[in-house]
Amino acid sequence: MAQTAQLTIDGRSYQLPLLTGSEEERALDITGLRQQTGLITLDSGYGNTGSCRSAITFIDGEKGILRYRGYPIEELAAHSSFLEVAYLLIYGELPSEQQLTAFKNNVTCHTMIHEDLKHIYQAFPPDAHPMAPLSAVVSALSTFYQDALDPLNPEHVELAICRLLGKLPTIAAYAYKKSIGQPFIYPDDRLEYAANFLQMMFSVPPEPYQVDPELSHTLDQLFLVHADHEQNCSASTVRMVGSSRANLFASISAGISALWGPLHGGANQGVLEMLQRIADDGGNVEKYVALAKDKSSGFRLMGFGHRVYKNFDPRARMLKQECDIVLGKLGIEDPLLDIARRLEETALHDEYFIERKLYPNVDFYSGTIYRAMGFPLNMFPVLFAIGRLPGWIAQWKEMIEHHERIARPRQLYVGPQQRHYLPLDQRGS
């Protein structure tokens, strides 16, 4: 028998269905609430609002669990690759060998961008943050590839998916090359996904460039651990924009803009800026922990805290280890890593952080690895975007396939009641 919860308002009782997810998570279905009661719910920041039913990613924030389509992130990072995980997220199952080869070929044959698209980069100042051209060029794909815009046509969607996955690293690397005045480097389709991106970023025409296989493997893993995180700000943005039946390119472009913010994907850049600030100020970690606790300072420990994780973010745990490996391999002793470790240690033993269950998140260590690999600070959120793309696509595709209604929240109006227009000469000073 279906379970219900009873809600009593002004002495009248209403039954609301109780739903249970596949991991025994429970939800109160309020779909009929307004129709039955005339009331809406108020949930600023959506902390208690399930916006959809989704079969893509499971997170247990209390236990620090993250699974893509049921597979633990740790197992995928140890055995899989970014493109295989992209397939898993988008299509729901791990591919057969044949399916994986076909998928890789389909993505790889779309790595070039239209030559005319390159002109867009010229319109940006050299010091433009690369998230702006990234979002703009992805949006512009919709004008160059008009044969793949119908969200309800599965062939169009397939084409748009492969084009986006193929082109995003190229679009990202061109944004970097433009910012440093170097020529754009064409993709080399003989290389694996992350390796190809590295050569577009760091090679120059007059010199031979050899991709370091260990570094490209690390980058592939970094992309993989970022690949999805259920209904976060950017994924919800992608779903929301797509719910109006906007095309996939437009929806992903909006997701990139949402990711850019310092409380979301921009936090990895924020962490390194914070660590540098602490280093420049003499390395006094305690001072900055105190500052983060002082609400009037407006300062937060970047890379700390999470809406869902009230325990270690499993991605942070993995990246902390990876950080030691990469820096060890490159023979880099980064003083900022030492500050990061001391900051983590101090915060984890501080009552303020313990009480609020604030732990390092995925952004805390990723930036140190990116820096060691030679990426400039403002490319960090771009790397996050490349990694997150399969998740955004999977979320958008699921939303379309579920025929979700247009997303349209309500509000509690707290503005002035009706009043009447006064001509300018009657308004006082």
List contacts with ligand CMC (CB under 6 A): 45, 232, 263-265, 267, 292, 300-307, 356, 358, 361-363
- Shortest CB 294 distance to ligand CMC, Å: 9
Strands of 4-9's sheet in order across? 4-9, 12-20, 26-28
* Backbone torsions φ then ψ of 313, nearest 5 degrees: -70, 120
Cβ atoms < 10 Å from Cβ of 60: 16
Gap between the terminal Cα atoms of the chain = 66
Nearer to ligand CMC by C-beta: 13 or 296? 296
- Shortest CB 357 distance to ligand CMC, Å: 8
**For residue 304, how far is the Cα from the chain centroid?**
16
Q: In sequence order, what DSSP letters do the residues of 356-386 get, joined into one string?
A: TT--B-THHHHHHHHHHHT--GGGHHHHHHH
Q: Are 100 and 84 in contact (CB under 8 A)?
A: yes
What burial class does residue 409 get, using C-beta atoms within 10 Å of its C-beta: 0-12 exposed, 13-18 middle, 19+ buried?
Answer: exposed
Active site residue 363: yes
Residue of 306, 402, 420, 425 with catalytic role: 306
Nearer to ligand CMC by C-beta: 102 or 354? 354
CA distances from 310 to 63, 155, 169, 305, 347 (A): 8, 41, 33, 8, 14
Coil, strand or helix at 19: strand
- Shortest CB 341 distance to ligand CMC, Å: 17
**Token output for 342:** 């001391």
Which amino acid appears at position 146 of this protein? Q
Nearer to ligand CMC by C-beta: 94 or 348? 348
Q: Are 51 and 233 in contact (CB under 8 A)?
A: no
Nearer to ligand CMC by C-beta: 127 or 351? 351
How many alpha carbons fall within 13 Å on the CB side of residue 374?
11
Nearer to ligand CMC by C-beta: 107 or 385? 385
Residue of 363, 403, 420, 425 with catalytic role: 363
- Shortest CB 401 distance to ligand CMC, Å: 25
- Shortest CB 10 distance to ligand CMC, Å: 32
Active site residue 306: yes
Nearer to ligand CMC by C-beta: 167 or 315? 315
- Shortest CB 351 distance to ligand CMC, Å: 12
Question: In sequence order, which residues have a C-beta less than 8 Å from that of residue 84 and are 6 or more positions away?
Answer: 94, 95, 100
Residues annotated as catalytic (active site), given as ranges: 306, 363
